[in-house]
Chains A and B, each alone.
Chain A
Amino acid sequence: MSAQDGVEARNARKVYGTGQEKVVALDNVSIVIKRGEFFTLLGPSGCGKTTLLRLIAGFETPTSGTILLDGTDITYDPPNKRPVNTVFQSYALFPHLTVAQNIGFGLEMRGHAKAEVDSTVEEMLALVRMESMADRKPTQLSGGQQQRVALARALAPQPKVLLLDEPLSALDLKLRKEMQSELKRLQLETGITFIFVTHDQEEALTMSDRIGVMKSGSLLQVGSPREIYTRPADRFVASFIGETNFLTGVLGKDAITLDAGGTLPLGASTQAKSGSKVTASIRPEQIRVIETDAPGSLPATVTESVYFGTDSHCHFALADGTEVVVRLQSPASGDVGLSRGQNVFLRFEPGALMVLEDQA
C-alpha cells in the first residue's frame, strides 16, 4: 500500500449560486482517507459533509481543487466512470426492478456476464441476509430491508470506496442500532473503504476508525473517536460530540484557576500561554459528587435533577453561578438522592479537564 492509496481531497471548494445568493458549501477542504478505513464525516446539516460526498461520488464537480483516488485525479470523471458507489439517504432503489435485479444492476451495466451477475447477486443477498426477498419489489420491503438492498446494490460491483449518505436516518432507534453493527461487520468483511456521512455523534463514535468533524464548509478536526471525544479541538467540536461543561479561568502552570474559584490540574498540556484567559471543558461523566470538601473539588448547589433511566443528569450551580451538568448512574431505586438547594462538592476526575485550543 503506497502513501497515495485511498481518497484524497485537495483544497476542495464548492460554491453554489453567484453574487448575493452565493453560498460556500465547501471551503478549501483537504483530507486524506486511507484505504480500508471506516471514515465518518460528522456535522450538523448544512455543514458541507454531503457536498464533499457528492464531489467524491462525482455528482458534482468542485469549483476549485481536486479529488484523487489512489493517487489518480478523478475530479472530472463522471459517476459511472468511478469505482465508487453510493448508498443514498432515500435508498433510491429502482421501483420497477426486483431486489435481485436492483443488486445486479451495477454489474450488468459494467457488462459482466449473466452467470457472473447472478452468482454475485446471490453472494450479496447472503451477505445482507436477504435471500428470501430476491424476487420482491422494493415497495414490498420495510425500511430496514430496503436499506440492506441499497447496501447490497452498492457493494455488488465491488467498488474501491463506498459512500453512505446518512443511510440510517430514516430508521427507528432499534433498527438503527442493528444496522450500525451490520455496517461495521460488512466493512470488516469486504475491506472496502467506507465514507459515512451523519449528523448523529453517537453513530460516528461507535462505528468509525476516524472521524472528520465539519462545520460551515470547513473541516474542524480529524481523528479517532477517542481523540475527538477526549481532546476536542475547539468549543464546537466539544459540544457537538457528546455533552460537555464549559468553565472559564486563568491558565497557570499545568493548572487552571477557575473564575468560579479553586485551582484544578489540567489533563494535558496546552499551547495556550500561561496567565491567559481560557475556556476548559469537562464531560458530565467525569465529575463525582461528594458530601465533604476534598482537594481538587468545588462547592456547588443542586439546581435540578433529570431522570434518564440508565442515568440521571444533575444540574449544579458553582459559586459564581456557572452551570455544571453531572451524569450520575442510577442506583436500583432510581433516585440519586440529591434534592434541589442541597450543597455538595464536585470532584473532577484527574486529567479530565481540557483547555480548548481555539480559546488561546
Chain B
Amino acid sequence: MSTDSDRLERQRNRNGWLLSTPALVLLAFGATGPLLIMFVYSFLEPGKYGNVIWEFSTKAWFNVFVQRDIFDGTLSPADAHLTILWRSVKLSLMTTIFTFIVGFPTAWFIATRPPRMRTLLLFLITIPFWTNLLIRTFAINQIIRNEGLLNTLLLKLGIINEPLLIIYSDFAVFIGMTYVYLPLMVLPLFASIDRFDMRLVEAGYDLYASRWQVLKRVIVPIVKPGIISGSILVFIPSLGAYVTPRILGGGRNMMIGNFIELQFGQGRNWPLGAALSVILLLIVAVALVVYVRFANRGDSNV
C-alpha cells in the first residue's frame, strides 16, 4: 500500500515540475539570459558605432570608477559617474522614506474604514495605474514647471513674487518619484495592517504604553513584513528610474538609468553601459541583503 501511495506522490511531484516548466523556461531566458549577456558585454571592447567587439577587456569596469584626461592622460576618479550613482541612491532612499511617511498613515486610514469604504479607497489608490507613466509624469511637469499650475496659482495669490524653480532639479525628480511610487508603498502596507489585530492596540494601551510606544513596540514590529515589501517595491524601481528623471530632471540631473541609456545610445559604449547595469544590480542586491538583515534583527531584542 505504502509503495503505491509513494509512487502516486512521486508522480504528483513530477507532474508539478512539468506544469511549472513554461514558467521556469521563461525565467531562465527572460531574466537570467539578459543579465548574463550584460555581464559578458561588460568585459568586451566597444564597437565604433555601438555594439561590441569580441575582445576581452576590463576597460569598461575601469572607466566606471576612473577617467583618463583626454589631453595629458592623467587618471582621476570618474566624478561624473560617482555623482550620478550617488544621486540615484540618495533620491531612491529619500523616495522610499517619504513614501513610507505618507503611505503609512494612508494605509492605516484605509485599513480602519468600514469594508465598503475600504474597497472604494483601495480602488482609488489603484487609479493612477490606469494611465501611462509617461503621461502622468508630464502631468507633474505641467504642475511644477515655471509657468505651471502651482507657480501660476501662487503668483496670482500673491504668496510668491517669482516662480519657484522646481522643475529640472533633484527635488523635481523626488516629487515625481514619490508620486509615482506611493501606491506601491500603500498597497503592501495596507495588506499587513489589514491583518493586524486592532485589539493589540488596546492591549498595549491597557499595559501602560503611550501612543508612541504602542506604535513603536506593537504596531511597527507586527506590520514589518508590509514595511519591508513596500520599501523594496519602491526602492528598486526608483533606483533604476528612467522616465521620471528624464522628464522632470531635464538633461542635467541624470540618474543611473538615464546614464546607462546614454551609453547604449549616443555614447556608443555598450560595455560601459553593461558594467553600469551590473553595478545597478549589485546595489540593489546589497541594499536588499542589508535591509532584510536589518529588519529581521529587531525581532530578537524587542
Tell me, in angstroms, the Cα distance from A92 to B299 when the chains sit together: 19
Say whether B208 faces chain A, with CB atoms less than 8 Å apart.
yes
B218 closest partner in A (C-beta): A94
Q: Are A92 and B213 in contact (CB under 8 A)?
A: no
Say whether B18 faces chain A, with CB atoms less than 8 Å apart.
no
Say whether A153 faces chain B, with CB atoms less than 8 Å apart.
yes
Report chain A residues within 8 Å CB of B202.
59, 79, 86, 88, 92
A153 closest partner in B (C-beta): B207
Q: Are A92 and B208 in contact (CB under 8 A)?
A: no
Tell me, in angstroms, the Cα distance from A154 to B205 when the chains sit together: 12
Binds B, one of A103-111, A318-326, A345-353: A103-111
Say whether B28 faces chain A, with CB atoms less than 8 Å apart.
no
Known contacts A101-B302, A109-B213; A88/B199 CB under 8 A: yes
Instruction: Select which of A57, A59, A92 is within 8 A of B200 by beta carbon.
Output: A92
Instruction: Kindly list the 4 A-B residue pairs having the minimum CB-CB distance in the complex, ordered from nearest.
Output: A106-B207, A92-B203, A109-B208, A79-B205
Q: Are A80 and B197 in contact (CB under 8 A)?
A: no
Report chain B residues within 8 Å CB of A93.
203
18 more CB-based (< 8 A) A-B contacts, given A79-B206, A92-B199: A80-B205, A80-B208, A80-B209, A86-B202, A86-B203, A88-B202, A90-B199, A94-B203, A94-B222, A96-B221, A96-B222, A96-B302, A101-B302, A109-B208, A109-B209, A109-B210, A153-B207, A157-B208
For window 39-84 of chain A, which residues contact chain B by CB distance below 8 Å?
Answer: 57-59, 78-80, 84
Report chain B residues within 8 Å CB of A120.
none
Report chain B residues within 8 Å CB of A94.
200, 203-204, 218, 222
A81 closest partner in B (C-beta): B208
Report chain A residues within 8 Å CB of B206.
57-59, 79-80, 84-86, 154
Say whether A331 faces chain B, with CB atoms less than 8 Å apart.
no
Report chain B residues within 8 Å CB of A79.
202, 205-206
Q: Are B302 and A97 in contact (CB under 8 A)?
A: yes
The majority secondary structure among interface residues of chain B is: helix
Report chain B residues within 8 Å CB of A58.
205-206
Tell me, in angstroms, the Cα distance from A142 to B230 when the chains sit together: 33
Interface residues of A (CB under 8 A from B): 57-59, 78-80, 84-86, 88, 90, 92-97, 101, 105-106, 109-110, 153-154, 157
Interface string of B175-205 (1 = CB under 8 A from A): 0000000000000000000000101101111
Tell me, in angstroms, the Cα distance from A93 to B206 when the chains sit together: 12
Report chain B residues within 8 Å CB of A88.
199, 202-203
Tell me, in angstroms, the Cα distance from A84 to B204 when the chains sit together: 13
User: 9 A-B pairs, CB-CB below 8 angstroms?
Assistant: A80-B210, A85-B207, A90-B197, A92-B199, A92-B203, A94-B204, A101-B302, A109-B217, A154-B206
B300 closest partner in A (C-beta): A98
Greatest chain A CB density within 10 A among B197, B204, B207 is at B207
Tell me, in angstroms, the Cα distance from A96 to B301 when the chains sit together: 11
Tell me, in angstroms, the Cα distance from A358 to B62 when the chains sit together: 97
